[in-house]
């Protein structure tokens, strides 16, 4: 938030200078008079990076577009652009426009990061894979019943992100609020990463206890679940810079009901180490689980 604040301040100060540069008296015959087209292109350089498009152009592409527009305005300008002192005015105008573009682009990037952070804090799951426990209770019961009747394996994986790994600095008066917001933010981005690698039959949901995610993996034994949990935890650590610990519990070895499986996983989580890169290396495949067959129990 502080970065966005300063970038906006710098952009506003620069724009105030840019659009009032004609008032600066540095030449003998008056102010530094840029062409009218320079100010038009400068306005476009300010607005284009801030347009809320889903497919944003890169800074290089925007710079090429603005440069082309600036050259077009020079071609149709009624004043000389390369004669005498005018060549310096042309170069000055180009510098002012491109600097405006860079500053506006940085503000646009900060706004996009802020928008994504707000979406994460609201825990929006656009893919529909992340749900609450109450929403998936029927699915959990079906999977447990199917595993009992068919005698097939089923594993529960419990993930917990370490918010202290982000090195938060909090004021005493807002410490609890910031900790709660950061915990939810970390949980949301961890869930988003996990959801990218779920099978069609896997179920991921938010644990009733704050800061935890639960992954139900049908047709998965304890050894296979441990391997998958390690890879997911390492992947989150590598890509997001967040330390993640996890634990597993398998049916029917550890328990025969979902509630008991979750309790076993929670007990194991207390002593579970944080997965780090020096402990495990990712294989060529993120997950080696085979797609669990879909069966319907009536």
Q: Among 9-18, 58-67, 118-127, 170-179, whose mean pLDDT is lowest?
A: 170-179
Q: pLDDT tens-digit profile of 163-187?
A: 665 544 444 434 555 666 666 777 7
Q: pLDDT tens-digit profile of 63-121?
A: 999 999 999 988 887 776 666 667 888 888 899 999 999 999 999 888 887 776 666 55
The answer to whether the predicted template modeling score (pTM) of the entire model surpasses 0.85 is: no
- What value does the CA radius of gyration of the chain take, rounded to a whole number of Å? 28
Angle at 206 between CA 205 and CA 207, to 5 degrees: 115
Better-predicted residue by pLDDT, 249 or 133: 249
Question: Given this model, what pLDDT does residue 288 score?
Answer: 45
Q: Which residues are within 8 A (CB) of 111 and not within 5 positions of it... i.e. 6 or more apart?
A: 4, 50
Query: Do residues 33 and 25 make contact, with C-beta atoms less than 8 angstroms apart?
Result: no
Q: Where are the domains of the chain?
A: 2-121, 130-269
Strands (E), 87-201: 130-132, 154-162
Output 260-263 pairs: Cβ under 8 A, ≥24 positions apart. Answer: 261/156, 262/156, 262/158, 262/207, 262/214
Q: 210 exposed, middle or buried (CB, 10 Å; 0-12, 13-18, 19+)?
A: exposed
Distance of CA 18 to the CA centre of its chain: 34
Question: What's the CATH fold of domain 130-269?
Answer: Alpha-Beta Plaits (3.30.70)
């Amino acid at each position: 938030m502080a970065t966005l604040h300063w970038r906006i301040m710098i952009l506003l100060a620069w724009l105030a200078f840019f659009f009032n540069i004609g008032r600066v008296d540095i030449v003998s015959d008056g102010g530094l008079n840029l062409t009218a087209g320079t100010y038009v292109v400068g306005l476009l350089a300010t607005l284009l990076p801030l347009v809320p498009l889903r497919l944003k152009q890169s800074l290089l592409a925007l710079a090429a577009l603005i440069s082309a527009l600036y050259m077009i305005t020079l071609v149709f300008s009624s004043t000389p652009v390369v004669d005498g002192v005018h060549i310096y005015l042309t170069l000055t105008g180009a510098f002012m426009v491109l600097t405006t573009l860079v500053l506006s682009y940085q503000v646009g990037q900060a706004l996009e990061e802020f928008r994504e952070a707000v979406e994460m804090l609201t825990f929006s799951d656009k893919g529909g894979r992340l749900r609450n426990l109450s929403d998936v209770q029927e699915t959990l019961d079906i999977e447990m019943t199917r595993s009992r009747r068919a005698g097939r394996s089923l594993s529960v994986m419990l993930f917990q992100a370490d918010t202290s790994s982000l090195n938060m600095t909090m004021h005493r008066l807002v410490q609890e609020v910031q900790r709660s917001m950061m915990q939810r933010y970390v949980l949301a981005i961890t869930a988003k990463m996990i959801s990218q690698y779920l099978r069609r039959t896997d179920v991921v949901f938010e644990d009733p206890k704050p800061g935890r995610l639960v992954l139900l993996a049908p047709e998965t034994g304890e050894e296979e679940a441990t391997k998958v949990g390690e890879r997911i935890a390492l992947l989150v650590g590598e890509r997001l810079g967040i330390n993640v610990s996890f634990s597993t519990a398998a049916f029917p070895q550890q328990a025969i009901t979902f509630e008991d499986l979750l309790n076993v996983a929670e007990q194991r989580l207390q002593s579970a180490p944080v997965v780090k890169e020096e402990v495990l290396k990712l294989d060529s495949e993120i997950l080696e689980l085979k797609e669990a067959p879909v069966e319907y129990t009536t």
